[in-house]
Chains A and B, each alone.
Chain A
Amino acid sequence: MIRAEHLVKRFGDLVALDGVSLEVRPGEILGFLGPNGAGKSTTIRILSGWLPPTRGSASVNGHDLVTDSLAARRSVGYLPEQFAAPHELRVGEYLAYRAELKGARPRMARERARAVAEELGLSERWRQPFGTLSKGFRQRVGLADALLADPPALLLDEPFSGLDPVQRQEFRETLRGLAARGKAILFSSHVLPEVRDLATRLLVLHRGRCAAVGTLDELQRKLQRSAPLRVLARGEHATERVTALATAHGFDPERIEAATGAVLLRALATADRAALFRALAAEECAVEEFHTEAPDLEQLFLLLVREPAA
């Protein structure tokens, strides 16, 4: 299990993380979202043991990352955003060396390296130098490295970057399989469809703070009220009338759908839906649609990161 409580990280005057708490349970895949500079990589680097937090605590499998760092690092497999290995080393040599570094006896290290390489489809690349591998295979070597000690927790920083669609699909399947074996997985990504398809829970970071956490359904329900109100009315100058009434009732007309003429309204602080609906009825607008749609992940992400963090 991965746990962080009230993590704060400062780099001089810059506050990179401001009280982030999270928990990833065994078998869970937590998708870590946020715009550039939100603090995703910093959080992952703290959880990997690379950076110490300024305040707060973090633990992996019950081992504190500051006071019991070696045991905590033994419990976590980490794939950095820019994974690199010595270019001259062959895949097999590198994995065997890393397994030994993580505590395996030399013979066991080689066997373990072989097993993980086979599991991740690296057997054919066993004798190939790391420097000659494609980006996709390098990522696989990185994941293999993270899995060598069979850790209960995995931290993956942008694991899909640079992968082609086939490799992404394979990578997703691999991660699902690992979660099914009880591993707690935390991964960050900018690719929203990847997060939607893979994560069992989401955590959105914004300006170093946790803007939202929960399953996609939970977040959609929570943010439905913030999603644009969709109003479709029929009749002469319907669009103009809807826009004028909405503005008068505290809504900001966001855009008009060209195909249907529906008006998408963003609610301002003074917005009153019921009053708007009554006004539309009083004006005898033939209202066909008056609802907010559950935001998809992209809308949800934009809603969360546009607003200041709560």
Chain B
Amino acid sequence: MRAFIAQFKRELRGLLLSPYAFVLLGFWFLLNGFFFAYLLRSPAVQNDLTLLPPYLFGNGLLVWLLLPAFPPLLALKLLAEEQRVGTLEPLLTAPVRDAAVLLAKYLAACVFFLVFWGGVAALFLVLNLHGAQLDWGRVGCGFLGAMLCSSLFLAAGLWASSWSGNLVLAAGGGAALNYMMLFVPSLLLDAPGRVGTFARAAYLPGFLDQAFAAGWIDSYAIALPLVLSALFLFLTWLRLAARRMLA
């Protein structure tokens, strides 16, 4: 446990002090600010501000464009960067389990991603300060869904990051994987039989749109990203074990 905490602190501190992470954060705030302002100009939202959370966190640009791309860009710092610089060998020969190292890295990245969401939350607070009446239940549910989704995309990014010391490949591979998780089910939603059933069961934007952003919490919608995240963490652990065999 002590080793896990040490690694968690190191990763979180590394991200908090990394200029790269803050450049990412800057772009994230900029693009989200733009989307937010764009949505606020919409007559429907101006008439009914309760529509803002579903438009932002649901089936919109944030989910389809930004969310799959940013977590892998952050996750490349976790393993690909270590491989590139040559610090992975000293780390994994220390008396600490690979699983503890991975979990510490992943949780630190998830915690750091809260800063990303904090910026979006600040936009809602500013709106509230200007007297806007918001449905905070919907806003909170929207945030929960988006955070679960970003945790899943971070786990996928971590897996992609474990494959190579090439940062472009790690980020590109992770983003491609995340886009596939969104697009492949969306293309198969109307497919007949089990394929269609499976696609509908794995269609994340649907859950974000119809469950979280609509203001209610579905246990399946919570379990899906958590189970998929666990799967990607397990795959990353396997990848590290295989890397030891082949290094």
Q: Do B18 and A88 touch (CB < 8 A)?
A: yes
Q: Do B97 and A45 touch (CB < 8 A)?
A: no
Chain A, interface residues (CB within 8 Å), range: 20 to 34
Q: How many angstroms from the CA of A48 to the CA of B90 in the assembled complex?
A: 10
Across the interface, which residues of B come within 8 angstroms of A48, CB to CB? 93
Across the interface, which residues of A come within 8 angstroms of B95, CB to CB? 70-71, 73-74, 102-103, 149
| Cross-interface CB contact of A70 among B9, B97, B244, B247, cutoff 8 Å | B97
- Which residues of chain A from 185 to 239 have a CB within 8 Å of any chain B CB? none
Across the interface, which residues of B come within 8 angstroms of A85, CB to CB? 87, 90
CB-CB nearest in chain A for B101? A101
Across the interface, which residues of B come within 8 angstroms of A145, CB to CB? 90
- B contacts with A, residue count (CB < 8 A): 26
Across the interface, which residues of B come within 8 angstroms of A180, CB to CB? none
B208-247 Cβ-contact flags toward A at 8 Å (1 or 0): 0000000000000000000000000000000000001111
| Cross-interface CB contact of A50 among B7, B18, B247, cutoff 8 Å | B247
Q: Do A84 and B96 touch (CB < 8 A)?
A: no
Across the interface, which residues of A come within 8 angstroms of B9, CB to CB? 97, 100
| Cross-interface CB contact of A84 among B2, B7, B86, B247, cutoff 8 Å | B86
B44 at the interface (CB under 8 A from A): no
B92 at the interface (CB under 8 A from A): yes
Q: How many angstroms from the CA of A167 to the CA of B10 in the assembled complex?
A: 30
**What are 27 pairs between A and B in contact, CB < 8 Å?**
A48-B93, A50-B89, A50-B92, A70-B95, A71-B95, A73-B93, A73-B94, A73-B95, A74-B95, A80-B86, A80-B89, A80-B90, A84-B87, A86-B14, A86-B85, A87-B85, A97-B6, A97-B9, A100-B5, A101-B96, A102-B94, A102-B95, A102-B96, A103-B3, A103-B95, A142-B90, A149-B95
Chain B residues engaging chain A, CB cutoff 8 angstroms: 2-3, 5-7, 9-10, 14, 17-18, 85-87, 89-97, 244-247
